[in-house]
Structure 1
Amino acid sequence: MDVSFSRLQIIFLLILSLGISNHVLVIPHLLKDAGRDSWISILAAYLVLVGWSILLFLILKSLRTTSFNHWLISRMGIYVFWIISSAIALYLLVAGMMIIFDTTTNVSIYFLPNTPSIIVILSFILISYSTARSGLKTIVYMSTVLLPIVWLLGIFVSISTIGSKDYGMLHPLFTEGLKPTLRGGAVVFGGSIDLLVILFLQHKLTKPMNYLSIFVLLTLLVGLILGPTMGAISVFGPSQAAYMRFPAFEQWRLIMIGTHISHVDFLAVFQLMAGSIVRTSLLIYILSDIIGNQFPKYRQTIMICGTVIMSIPAIFKVSDIKMQDIIHNYFYKYSIWFGVALTVALFAATYFPQRKGSTT
């Protein structure tokens, strides 16, 4: 029996899933590229994303309650479907590699330095796989319960570090020209392409997404980059923040409760694991949904293979420096090209007539 979800439930899911990417993955590379002007980069990227979101909405409007697979096949044929779905599958695998690698690295560095990394990795991927195997209902309900707690913890760390912040560090602007700001904007835009996952979820909604919902969702996701970025610059300064591996989580170490409680950064583990498990399980689920719908008998095999492939860099202990260089120099650049090309192709498909004999 199919389960339908409200717009609010899917928004909760996407904020938790995409928000952790903004916190863990985007901010370090943004600060490295744009430094003090990072917050300007975010605002510039936001304006571009608003324009892009209009095209996304028009594609969603064409989908209505039809699944992405059926919609694309009915308009562009099975061969084009496999070309596009293969590109999407590759993107999902790479995104999964990044979140598994960064999450397990974070936990090993900050919280379990004496625990063998393989134990951390296997525990994480087994939980994520089990969640994905349980279905979208489990992932959505987890997000609905966890997001309010994660959000309250975010507000807590923001308020608790106010005394350590000097917002004067946010200016002067453009001391190194516009080029760093544009590079930073590209990182934010590339990292926000993940919003395309909504294409694979709309047919599960009781009502299709309207533009207001997409606009609010996009604004909240950009806000999840802007707040911690400004916080990191105002607390640590642009130079030091740019060299930090996880600047958003470093802010937890500044919190003092009274005069005796100082180590509350364990609460950051809850934020990290809540978002990362939901994100990883959602990526695994969507991967199996795109390919598995064409081969229902092999759906679980596809899910297992996807999980294993996503775990390869973490399990084989790829150098963290090498991994971050690859992400910084290649991922965000190519994710922009991928996102723009996919958006244009799907927008063009909205003008294609539905083929005779196709079912939705």
Structure 2
Amino acid sequence: MTGNDLLKVGAAALTLLLAGFGSAHPVLAQEQVAAASGDATTSPEPLSADEMEVLVARIALYPDELIAVITAAALYPLQIVEAARFLERYEKDKGLKPKESWDGSVVSLLNYPDIVKMMSDDLEWTQTLGDAIAYQQKDVLVAIQQLRDEAVAKGVIKTDDKIQVVKANDNIVIKSASPEVIYVPQYPPQMFYEPDYVWEPIRYYPDPYPYYVYPGATFFAGAVTGAIWAAAVDWDDWGVWGGRWNGNDINIDCNNCFNNRDFNGNININDVDWKNVDRSKIKIDRDQLNKFDQNNIKNRIEKNGDNAIRDRARDIKKNDSLANRAPGKTAGTRDIRKSTLNGLKAKPAQVT
């Protein structure tokens, strides 16, 4: 018998021995499963600063509240695909309802069909953003701020009648000028990273989108979750928050708005059964809408530690079976690197 044959026999015997230990000793078996689980959730190779800027370029100039929803929804790529198909069917059947199993962030994104389509069509980008939020959340937000600094300096974006661009603690905050609707900027993200690309001011999608926490929104998240799903970016602590709204101080005027019972008067927004309400018959005055201010939302949802998107992301990644990815690999990473085009270090000068 050759040396190689002996090695094979020895390896086979060792395999049988370990298998016997695994079945006879549950603790050892559990440790082996835990080790295998740990390997499956190995964090992906980090994106560099340049790669990260390319990744976030397409959303960097969006209002903060929308960035918070997009980053949260990126953790659920399969639900994004389902949502895109749902919206196609909804065009023919307005009676369709979102799945109750969908995350509140995905339901909220139904109010922005163009964004749902973008995320579904470019699933590798969505998956990569989800990985980045799970493992490099601060880097994601820093990259967004760096691109915003440049865009403001070059006059690409500024306060107008649709959005507000303000500086808060050295960070650029972009928010909707209205508590009822959001105008989403349109711009070529390539101008941030392709050499010689001519800078141009932002435009907007032609129609405003309903503010995702506004009860008049077509797919208000409360219709599924039973409570307001809200999201906010905390630039000071480099975190994204999203989840259940805490607070019972917003009342709405229900003008016989319930389909299953007679009621006329004021009712707390958290007590509404959104499955049985006609949202066209409810009203919220502007003083009440001010309570949806982003600082207010952030303070309310931060009271619940479960609303930290970073923690939620890591939990999801532990059970992620979307594409049976190889350990340590990030979907779409190569595409992100390829598209940098050696940019970001050779950006064009401002066009005057």
Larger Rg: 2
Query: TM-score if structure 2 supplies the norm length?
Result: 0.25
Structure with greater proportional helix content: 1
